């Protein structure tokens, strides 16, 4: 019985650790050029969604919030990278 409980606990820890890798960590793994390209794409998508919302055509309004937060994450990471480069 104790082995089963331990196995379940270790399995739960593996699943939890897999979930803790954040989007910010994924963005940090990319280069500044890749982030810039992705940022441009996200801003274009945000622009289009704002127009759709203004016209009453937006179907997925939650996507606007996700885009806004991803844009902020990317800009924060780009700023971190610039400061790191300036120190070096």
Q: Lowest-pLDDT range, 9-13, 40-44, 80-84?
A: 9-13
**pLDDT, averaged across the chain:** 85
- pLDDT(50) > 60: yes
Range of the domain at 42: 22-87
What's the rounded Cα separation, in Å, for the pair 41 and 35? Answer: 10
23 pLDDT exceeds 80?
A: yes
| 42 and 65 Cβ atoms separated by less than 8 Å | no
Query: Domain count of the chain?
Result: 1
Q: Rounded to whole angstroms, how far apart are CA atoms 50 and 55?
A: 9
Task: Answer whether residue 60 is part of any domain.
Answer: yes
Residue 26 lies in a domain: yes
Q: What is the pTM of this model?
A: 0.73
Note whether residue 14 is domain-resident.
Answer: no
DSSP, res 31: -
Please report, for the domain that includes residue 61, its CATH number: 1.10.287.310
Residue 45 CA to residue 82 CA, distance in Å, equals 25
* Residue 58 resides in a domain: yes
């Amino acid at each position: 019985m104790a082995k089963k409980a331990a196995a379940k606990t270790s399995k739960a820890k593996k699943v939890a650790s897999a979930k803790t890798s954040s989007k910010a960590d994924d963005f940090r793994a990319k280069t500044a050029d890749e982030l810039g390209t992705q940022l441009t794409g996200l801003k274009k998508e945000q622009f289009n969604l704002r127009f759709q919302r203004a016209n009453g055509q937006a179907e997925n309004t939650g996507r606007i919030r996700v885009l806004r937060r991803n844009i902020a994450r990317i800009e924060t990471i780009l700023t971190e990278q610039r400061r790191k480069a300036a120190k070096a």
